Chains A and B, each alone.
Chain A
Amino acid sequence: MDNAIEVRDLVVERGRRRVLHGITCTIPRGSVTGLLGPSGSGKTTLIRAIVGVQFVRSGAVTVLGRPAGSAPLRRELGYVTQAPSVYADLSVRENARYFATLLGLHAAEADRAIADVGLSGARHQLVGNLSGGQRSRASLACAMIGEPKLLVLDEPTVGQDPVLRADLWGRFHELADAGTTLLVSSHVMDEAGRCDRLLLIREGRLIGDDTPAAIRASAGTDDLEEAFLRLIREQEKVAA
């Protein structure tokens, strides 16, 4: 099995609105895949379908060889929601230790995850007293505990200091080299270049699925932002 995630003809409706219009893609194991697209394009919905918390209209999502959301996957998957989902009235360490216990892991694993996101100095602080960037790193730490096989991160680097952001991307690649698959969503194009593969999504449709180099080459520009724009124009031409 080379693919950590396989999505086939995925259609999702929220209310009466169709949010994803038949998405098909695969995400290879041990890679960092960027899910890029403007806000409202369906990134979070696709992520929710992959972690198995989204009702889907039709199509199939297979994660690590099992249907998305099946019970054995819950030990193998780390998920960071867009808004930091940690307890504001607990300290960073108490949060991390609680999530470690849910996985049957020791406190030491929790402390390591806190160190990995650079929060050791703030581990005794209440999450509610942290800055926005620190809070999302606390949330990230809770997902990284025990090195899950798949890490799904919804905009984890928003509001981070550039140096820290570089550190986090370094850590993501270390994890990928050790075999973890990462799916990282972002609406910031300058992060796209740091990914092994890119999924470009717009208005619930996949408009690009390749390595950053191949996307640059096919669009004929070095600038990924510009490449994204050209892909959109091409699609619109085809549609018209």
Chain B
Amino acid sequence: MSARITFATAARVLRQLRHDRRTVALLIVVPALLLALLYFMYDGAGGTFDRIALIMLGVFPFVIMFLVTSIAMLRERTTGTLERLLTTPLGKIDLLFGYGLAFGLAAAVQGAVATGAAYWLLGLETRGSAGLVVLIAVVNAVLGVALGLFCSAFARTEFQAVQFLPVVVVPQLLLCGLFVARGQMAGWLEGISDALPLTYAVDALAQVGVSADPTTTMWRDLVIVAGATVVALVLAAATLRRRTP
């Protein structure tokens, strides 16, 4: 692994993004707009908006970065740039970390804008600090990037790649405790929920909602999400083969 190559790769991915202004605009504006939609949906029920908006601040970057990354990586595979990169001194880890870094930075901007809008424009209130919300959002985004890198290996076309959203992301969303409290789920569902990383991300955000200082549970949750990210990156590295049939 080489820091020079990793940073060059991250810079290259960000440059690609910069040339695509519409994507940048969508990345930055859409989460804030969706939060505004939630605000008007729960008009007058301040507590419900606070609870759901907080969780959505973590969910949006996860979903969006998963989608963006799986398509970006699929393009590397289908246009032949991946095959070419693997004949250069670039290491697999350089490529994966480069992507993680680039989209992690994009997620930080996205998270800061969405969080700023939620607190200042939409009156979101939490006991804990907004900075922690942004931190959790970025870690979630990087989890999305890592899963996207991994899943792109199993798709041959863009049509297939977007189908991984309902397969990988939606179950995590349904079982994370947002729709039905985890304690009220059937035992086997709760067991599955325990094994899904998004559950811990949502729990970490809930902790920020209820306590003024970062709790041990929140840090534990965040470490679990980060651990899941590393596992997904290792799995993604295993799918990058220099030799193919």
Contact = CB atoms under 8 A, between A and B. Distances in A.
A240 B83 CA distance: 40
A85 B4 contact: no
Nearest to B88: A102
Contacts of A209: none
A75 B243 contact: no
Given A85-B80, A101-B5, A101-B8, A90 B89 contact: no
Contacts of A101: 4-5, 8
Given A15-B245, A53-B244, A79-B84, A88 B5 contact: no
Given A74-B87, A90-B15, A102-B8, A85 B244 contact: no
Nearest to A68: B243
A90 B9 CA distance: 13
Contacts of B79: 83, 85, 87-88
A81 interface: yes
Interface residues of A, number: 32
B158 to A, nearest CB: 14
Contacts of B8: 98, 101-102
B220 interface: no
Interface in A67-120: 69, 71, 74-75, 77, 79, 81, 83-91, 94, 98-99, 101-104
B19 A126 contact: yes
Contact of B15 (A15, A81, A85, A94): A94
B86 interface: yes
A102 B5 contact: yes
A42 interface: no
B81 interface: yes
B43 interface: no
B88 A74 contact: yes
A52 B242 contact: yes
Interface string B1-39: 000110011001001100110000000000000000000
Given A90-B12, A126-B19, A55 B89 contact: no
A53 to B, nearest CB: 6
A83 B84 CA distance: 11
A103 B9 CA distance: 12
A81 B80 contact: yes
Contact of B81 (A14, A51, A52, A87): A87
Contacts of B244: 53-55
A53 B77 CA distance: 13
B90 interface: yes
A7 B8 CA distance: 35
Interface in A105-141: 126
Contacts of B19: 89-91, 126
A90 B244 CA distance: 27
Contacts of B243: 52-55, 69
Interface of B: 4-5, 8-9, 12, 15-16, 19-20, 79-81, 83-90, 242-245
Interface of A: 14-15, 51-55, 69, 71, 74-75, 77, 79, 81, 83-91, 94, 98-99, 101-104, 126, 142
Q: Which 10 A-B pairs have the closest CB atoms?
A: A85-B80, A101-B8, A85-B84, A81-B80, A102-B88, A98-B12, A89-B16, A79-B87, A85-B81, A74-B89
22 contacts: A51-B87, A52-B242, A53-B242, A53-B243, A54-B243, A55-B243, A69-B242, A74-B88, A81-B84, A85-B79, A85-B83, A85-B84, A87-B16, A87-B79, A90-B12, A90-B16, A90-B19, A94-B15, A99-B88, A101-B4, A101-B8, A104-B4
